[in-house]
Amino acid sequence: MKSMDLIQKLWVKPGTKVSLRDHDPDATPGCKGKPDVAAILLKTCARLSELQYLMYAENKRALLIVLQALDTGGKDGTIRHVMTGLNPAGVQVKSFKKPTEDELDHDYLWRIHHAVPNYGEFGIFNRSHYEDVIVVRVHDLVPRSVWKNRYDEINAFEKHLTENNVTLLKFYLHISKEEQKRRLLERIEDKRKWWKLSEADFAERKHWGEYQEAYEEALTRCSTKEAPWYIIPANKKWFRNLAVAEIMLETLEALDMKFPKAKMDPTTIRFR
């Protein structure tokens, strides 16, 4: 799997009108059969760890990863498998659930900006500000006149972040309705996963078509040069993990980060 080829295949080109029907959630572009995933991920994650250390040392920029998906789409699994090997002290994972009373007393991007990683760190959003043009749209939580303006506001916000050295990678983990059903049934059959179940998981399936439309518009209007979207075929978990890891690696390598100059000359040190 070549990272640059993968990026081109999964990248949502700015200005492209997205139809999720054109994206096969079972696809594995660049892979002929299932490769030795464990070996590839081990090597990739080791390099990601090195680049994380380099970003921390340089302390001039941050990486923000946005993960969006429908229920059972694999956000938690992606974090667990792809971020293995990273120094947890330099990774912030933030899950955005229903806004708190304090958050509701501010604009919808307030809580997002507060969670942006510090320079030298990786940040991972498990759901994000895109809930405010997806869930609120599907469930009519705010008027159309409100959420329709948020696409431009989000683009401006993300441009502001990138202009201040925050690199954004946005991944939509694309699964089929049939695969979601299979994963929900798997949770029902495994008592260890009952804690994950909620009535909302099943109720939300009734809105599948509306969610597809909401995601299509978000992907269409908010994939920009500064903050691109990638549509990751996610029915096959092994490909999902490889794709996200490889795109992360290629993006970080392209930053051409440098270690800062030494504050002293270590060769002058003499031990007694």
Q: For position 4, what pLDDT does the model report?
A: 64
Q: For position 22, what pLDDT does the model report?
A: 96
Walk me through the domains of the chain, giving residue ranges and CATH numbers.
Answer: 3-255 (3.40.50.300)
What are the residues facing 11 on neighbouring strands? 230
The C-alpha atoms of residue 100 and residue 110 are separated, in whole angstroms, by 12
Hunting for tokens 């993990």 — which residue is that?
241
* Residue 9 · residue 250 · CB < 8 Å: no
pLDDT values of the chain reduced to their tens digit, one per residue, 272 residues = 556 677 888 999 999 999 999 999 999 998 877 888 889 999 999 999 999 999 999 999 999 999 999 999 999 999 999 998 899 999 999 999 889 999 999 999 999 999 999 999 999 999 999 999 999 999 999 999 999 999 999 999 999 999 999 999 999 999 999 999 999 999 999 888 888 888 877 889 999 999 999 999 999 999 999 999 999 999 999 999 999 999 999 999 999 999 998 888 877 888 77
Query: ∠145-147-153 over CA atoms, to 5°?
Result: 110
* Residue 96 · residue 121 · CB < 8 Å: no
Q: For position 2, what pLDDT does the model report?
A: 57
DSSP line for 124-140: EEES-TTHHHHHHHHTT
Q: For position 7, what pLDDT does the model report?
A: 81
